[in-house]
Structure 1
């Protein structure tokens, strides 16, 4: 490949890199695996004759989708052997992502967990069609199915996700106040303060990956969740730094000044209904900086 062709391929790849990462991450729920997929995509992209490519964005998305599907099938076996609940790798995202309602919902912990219940092909079709608005013909080429089959898969996946996806949208100002109350209660170990901000049916999911202590099953109910949180930090100084996690409010939690995990928070009616606490060190490599995401 000539230097000019390599430069042209590099320019195209870099221009769509954030989009391709977002596609891979939404399919995989793992930033580390998404990065591996991008590397594999690049190796295949530089072998392509660009003169024969009419739509570079579509071609790159197609390669990324195929590599993600290969990786997703491998990950399914890894997850079966995972110790305790598996949560998506949390990403610190910019306030711009939070303001983009469509993007923020698509990468939210709550929706990402719903996507985990789809088959690999269903997930790929749903992500490409519902999130990135890719045409059925393009999706068919990416997943090696007929357009008619893709339409059926898309309908089935959409119905499955719609039955499970969270729908309530809370204003940023109301969310901020509830987050501040939760943060203060965490720092002081105030069980009543936690009960005041937790919804009665709140669910806490923790992911320690077998390396850090975590509940093997979801903790359900305000009282149980509050006592689990306070009991887990007994004798230590627990602080939470407000941030944006996967487009939603969250905290970087530190115990005695050391990063302990990242917690994403889902609100409804000014109360917390979902807590997703990732402690697995292997999933905290991106805590130090924001990850750029885009749908375009």
Structure 2
């Protein structure tokens, strides 16, 4: 097998790792391209384990890119949310298995709370199922340090996750009710769906109108959706689709995908609303 074909064998796995590290489709593509260049220039006769070499290169390139991204995101206009990897209006039975294996958009947003190396260690151990010795070799830390990083990451993520699991059909029903209430600007219905301390985060990237800082509290969120519906309701169309494997509201405006919205639920109430409006993150589905 030639070097190009050998690399293509692992491209999907490398891209999945890079995307989960970075939360950005475009950055992940750049990292995989850089890994390919390193592979192309390497002395392959000295490489005993191709997959390990490629995963190591991709991980370290991803960590470097994530450090740079953290600096760039400090000057980002408003909150930064991950870039969707997949947007599907009606998944077929054939691709539902693939959808189920994806890391959800909500979970990717939680990963933003971790530092670059902590995030890499956690993903390699918990998502890609490497043991601690392998993780240590991949990111260039001691095994004991990797155990500490993964333990800290678990604790931080667990503190942010909902206390109660919600069945997929219940999640979708609540999302549909929230979609209909927000479309019509029915503030009473929105309030009935939201936790009192619910939080709205929207990412417009300075390109479109969006809330420039997280909006806290059910009443403030309900008033916002009421105002948006009064101004733009007749010009938008909403439907339920899937974003990164979880149900999401796809909002269309003047024939183009204007936003995607996902929710987090704890028990019977919506605790968080995440909306991506930045057109640069949605252009692939226009």
Residue range with higher mean Cα deviation, 182-191 or 63-72: 182-191
Residue 42 of structure 2: aligned partner: 48
Shift of 1:63: 1.0
2:179 aligned residue: 183
Partner of 2:243: 245
Pick closer, same or farther for the CA change 1:36–1:224 going to 2, 3 Å.
same
Describe the SS at the equivalent of 1:46. Answer: helix
Query: How far does the alpha carbon of each residue in 1:152-205 deviate from its partner, in whole angstroms, 9 at most, with x for none?
Result: 322232333233233532222222222222222233222223233333332110
Following superposition, the deviation at residue 250 of structure 1 comes to 0.4
2:132 corresponding residue in structure 1: 136
Matches of 1:241 and 1:54 in 2, distance apart?
Answer: 50
Structure-2 residue corresponding to 1:87: 81
Q: Which moved more, 1:226-235 or 1:63-72?
A: 226-235
The 10-residue stretch of structure 1 (79-88 or 185-194) with the greater mean CA deviation from structure 2: 185-194
Q: Are the counterparts in 1 of residues 182 and 229 from structure 2 also a CA contact under 8 Å?
A: no
Change (3 A) 1:167 1:63: farther
Map 1:1-296 onto structure 2 (within 5 A): 8-92=2-86, 95-100=96-101, 103=102, 107-236=103-232, 237=234, 238-287=236-285
Task: Select between 194-203 and 124-133 the one with higher mean Cα deviation.
Answer: 194-203
SS state of the match for residue 201, structure 1? Answer: strand
Deviation at 1:285, TM superposition (A): 2.7
- In structure 2, runs of 5+ residues without a counterpart are 88-94
**Do the aligned partners of residues 162 and 186 (structure 1) sit closer, same or farther apart at CA in structure 2, a change above 3 Å counting?**
closer
119 and 169 in structure 1: CA distance in 2 versus 1, 3 angstrom threshold: same
The farther-off stretch of 251-260 and 223-232 is 251-260
Per-residue displacement from partner, 1:3-49 (whole Å, max 9, x unpaired)?
xxxx5332332222222112111111111100100100111122334
Question: Residues of 2 paired with 1:235 and 1:147: CA distance?
Answer: 56
Shift of 1:99: 3.4
Q: Superposition RMSD on alpha carbons, in Å?
A: 2.2
Deviation at 1:112, TM superposition (A): 2.2
| 2:39–2:54 CA contact under 8 A, matched in 1 | yes
Count of aligned pairs between the two proteins = 277
